[in-house]
Amino acid sequence: MDGELGFLFSLLVSGLSIGMMYALIALGFVLVYKATDAINFAQGEFVMLAGFICATTLVYELPLWLALLTTVVLMVAFSFALERIVLRPLLGRPVVAVIMATIGLAAMLRGLPPITIGAQTKTIPLPIGDEPVEFLGTSLPQIQILGIVVTILCLAAFTWFFTKSRMGVAMRAVADNQQVAMAMGINVERYFAIAWAMAGVVAALGGIIWGSMLGVDTQLALVGLKVFPVVILGGLDSIVGAVVGGLIVGVVESVAAGYLDPVVGGGTKDFAPYVLMIVALMFKPYGLFGKRRIERI
């Protein structure tokens, strides 16, 4: 493989691997939207909080497996408490009320670590090697390979849940129409809580993996904004769309960084996904795999 073609191929492989890690975070957006019809703008802060929990528990020399389990359990408990205390009173209110509540929660969570455990960057040392793995002439960090595996497993599990299980079908019915779901005897409050708990599990996994790769500080919350073009492009209610959108955004970022950054001096990968998002909204406002909704008034 010659130099130019090899360079392009390495950019594509790198973009696809990062895109799969974006998809892991995007699953949190999709899970909440599929069940509650609302967008959780605090998903990035959930990831940051999970990273801080894992890094802090490791400071006390807990075994790694126990620290990971503690992170997942605490994120599920936090999500349950959030739904019960903050979001349940908003049940039946306009969706914008839930959106504004998550925006306020995001601001609160970003300010919490500096005043409690400090703003210093913390690490999550996972038992994987530092040496990159060679793949078809290019190399990938082992943490990205772990992220790809975790994303694929989550994709398979949640796809089965929403398409094959009775609970998943009921959660989709709740998202379509809360009032009709209540009339059919579906416990809407319970399914809201389950949806937020599932988003907490995804945030825990994302916080552990992204925190291990980038370090844990308040800037980790920005991954939520980085992932937002992914869910818009793929479709807010599509699990498969989250993965496809993540792959596309990852490739666009990587190619922009490889070819445009040397010309303009850098920074193109930070705004290229948002340009792509705007174009997608112009031509596919529901995303590539989103469900078209027609409201009659």
Count other Cβ atoms within 10 Å, centred on residue 218: 17
Residue 239 has a pLDDT of 84
Residue 54 has a pLDDT of 93
Dihedral sign for Cα 138, 142, 143, 147, please.
positive
Burial of 183 (0-12, 13-18, 19+ CB in 10 A): exposed
148 inside domain: yes
Question: Mind spelling out the 3-state secondary structure of 195-244?
Answer: HHHHHHHHHHHHHHHHHHHHCECHHHHHHHHHHHHHHHHHCCCCHHHHHH
pLDDT tens for the chain, 297 residues: list them. Answer: 567 787 888 889 889 999 999 999 998 888 888 777 778 889 999 999 999 999 999 888 888 889 999 999 999 999 989 888 887 787 667 778 888 888 999 999 998 888 888 778 898 988 887 788 887 667 888 888 899 999 999 988 988 888 888 888 888 777 777 677 777 777 877 888 888 899 999 999 999 999 999 899 988 998 888 898 999 999 888 888 889 999 999 999 999 988 888 888 777 888 888 998 898 888 888 888 876 655 544
3-state secondary structure of 109: helix
278 inside domain: no
62 inside domain: yes
250 inside domain: no
234 inside domain: no
For residue 292, the 8-state DSSP code is P
265 inside domain: no
217 inside domain: yes
Return the amino acid letter for 78.
F
Burial of 211 (0-12, 13-18, 19+ CB in 10 A): buried
76 inside domain: yes
Domain count, the chain: 1
Taking Cα atoms as reference points, which of 158, 213, 149, 152 lies closest to residue 33? 158
Residue in the block written with tokens 């939207």: 33
Residues 6+ away with beta carbon under 8 Å from 153? none
Residue 1 has a pLDDT of 54
Q: Strand runs (DSSP E) across 131-190, as ranges?
A: 133-135, 138-140
Q: What are phi and psi of 135, to 5 degrees?
A: -140, 110
pTM: 0.88
Print the domain residue range for 197: 25-125+137-224
Residue 296 has a pLDDT of 47
Nearest-angstrom CA–CA distance, 265 and 259 = 11
Helices within 37-94 (DSSP H only): 43-59, 64-82
Return the amino acid letter for 193.
A
